[in-house]
Structure 1
Amino acid sequence: MTMHHMSTEMKACIDNCLACYRECLSMAMGHCLELGGEHTKPQHFKLMMACAEICRTSAHFMLIGSEHHKHVCRECAEICGQCAEDCERIGDMQSCVDACRRCADSCRKMAA
């Protein structure tokens, strides 16, 4: 499946995954590490790293046209949902919450 044969929905999902990857990684490495406290508790920090990585992997699977992207996207939607909740709970991370929710929504559609 070449890029121009890809559905508009899939292209949007790839963009959302890459945006979420960028957001989670840069926010964890910048904002969270600088603030410390709740922001660097292992459970939260590991979740952000897991979220960034599954988003990158989902985008990769869709870009290479793997039929396994549905499974990866399903997992990505779940992790993004958890990450959004946790970032919202901690607070002062709205851009991350928004990126995670957008990614979760489009990944759910891809997994369907």
Structure 2
Amino acid sequence: MAHQHQSVLDAATRCAHECEYCADACIGNMPECARLCRDCAQLCWTVAGFVSRGSRFVSQIVLACIDICEACAKECEQHQNEHCQRCAKACRQAADEYRKIVGGAL
């Protein structure tokens, strides 16, 4: 299943990585951004694992992750920092890939 859905895995890991970086950068001065980024990163890492294993629960996990990715993107888009903008873009791309899963792509 992982090879079939490489774009989902790539988007999940890219999003998780950008969120981890953004959270570290925002931890001192933008705590809400940092919290959302950490939540999003954690769940995107989880999505990558579930997709890699071909879990039958992938749809349930990505539904939750879509909401978190959208919330994180919305928060990060409010900030002009380059890392926040990269994070927002990665979150939007991941959410788009996850929608393919719940749309029946898996």
TM-score relative to the length of structure 2: 0.87
2:26 counterpart residue number: 32
Q: Percent identity among equivalent residues?
A: 33
RMSD of Structure 2 on Structure 1 (CA): 1.4
Verify the 8 A CA contact 2:23 2:35 in the aligned structure 1: no
1:69 counterpart residue number: 58
Q: CA deviation at 1:71?
A: 0.8
Structure 1 residue ranges without an equivalent (≥5): none
Displaced runs of 4+ in structure 1, greater than 4 A? none
1:51 counterpart residue number: 40
What is the rounded CA distance, in whole Å, between the counterparts of 2:58 and 2:80 in structure 1? 31
Q: Does 1:90 align with 2:74?
A: no
Amino acid at match of 1:48: C
* Deviates further, 43-52 or 15-24: 43-52
Q: CA deviation at 1:26?
A: 1.6
The number of residue pairs the alignment matches comes to 101
Q: CA deviation at 1:44?
A: 2.7
User: Which has the larger Rg?
Assistant: 1
